[in-house]
A and B are shown apart, each in its own frame.
Chain A
Amino acid sequence: MTAMCDVSFLLLTFFILTATARQPDPLDVTIPSSTYKLKVPDLDMGILSIGKGKVFYEIVGKDVKMSTLDKMGEKYSIKFTPEERERFGVIGAFGVPVQSLKQFIMMSGDDRTKSGIATGIPADSTNNQLAEWILQSRTSVAELHGTSMRISIKGDAQEEYPAVKKIVDILQKQKINKFSLITSAEGDAK
């Protein structure tokens, strides 16, 4: 019995440690379900969340995030301190204009959703920060890992199609013609 107990607790510890803590999603989206079987990869990904007319962006990987932030800071001439870089490296999805990003980074997790600062990333043709984020993160992935980044779209089920189309058009402008739609698993065909 003692040995069994030891083994089971060892395994338990292993599974608890390997299970990654789920980042709270700042944008509440209900993803539609599908019968596809392909799992979403964990690496070199950019996830676009679309819901309620807003767009949030999540870059997977700490090094990619930090490198993307550097590039964005250069582009919009905002200086980020090493502490801000470090904090941005562990952030999940974000949806703020780059101008208020500094403020957003220094907030605690709770305030980020409460403060109402997360208005989505501007994606208009005059101020297309989203396209810039995508472009810079793709460059970062290419530089750091030598592969191309996969773009996934996580859309709210009730979102109007034109809102999704607008984002897809931004992707297509950067010659991303292949992307994944994230759905939840569904049982076999009804």
Chain B
Amino acid sequence: MAELDTSGGGKKGKKVRSKKANTKVDLTAMVDLAFLLITFFMLTTSLSKPIAMDIAKPDKDDKSTEKNELRASETMTILLGKNNKVAWYMGEAGKSTPNVESFSDVRKSILDNKKKVAETTGGRQIIMVIKPTSGATYKNFVDIMDELAITKITTAPAIDDENITDAEKDFMKGAGIL
């Protein structure tokens, strides 16, 4: 490739021979650069893809009467409030006092409750109800869905932003997170 014949024809004698210069180009740096760029493009094409988090919400117009009843003792409700705070309680609304926590602590609570439910009911899965309120941000919602994925809650969580009871609202107002 990068070589040229610089011998200057086949003339006889040594006096007319032109100076022989070394024209071999050192390709090392160029190859280095090329591979660096290859690596860069390979990584950016596959790594820059965003991640999709699939969410399923209940059908609003579902008129079917066949609905599974949830056992209150196996249900954990998480309310998302403002200032990146959550309130959670087990069982029925109004009967148990919710606990107010920040997002960094809620994972432990979920795991504790999951274990407790599994122990008391003989291996049944905990049922999660997520209720984002008007004070929550979009990030809070994504974070809590992520927490469920991290804590390996395999049952589909119920995302309910319609039926936030008065008892829940009152509590959240009292705690200053609504």
Contact = CB atoms under 8 A, between A and B. Distances in A.
Interface residues of B, number: 47
Given A1-B28, A16-B41, A180-B54, A32 B138 contact: yes
A162 B140 CA distance: 12
Q: What bracket does the count of chain A residues touching chain B fall in? A: 35 or more
Given A15-B38, A38-B54, A189-B150, A50 B49 contact: no
B66 interface: no
Contacts, number: 148
Contact of B50 (A9, A19, A175, A183): A183
A19 B139 contact: no
A158 interface: yes
B133 A36 contact: no
Given A4-B31, A34-B145, A164 B50 contact: no
A5 B141 CA distance: 50
A181 B142 contact: yes
Contacts of B41: 12, 15-16, 19
Interface of A: 1-2, 4-5, 8-9, 11-12, 15-16, 18-19, 22, 31-32, 34-41, 50, 152, 154-165, 168, 172-173, 175, 177-186, 189
A79 B61 CA distance: 36
A177 B58 contact: yes
Interface in B1-49: 1-2, 27-28, 30-31, 34-35, 37-38, 41-42, 44-45, 47-49
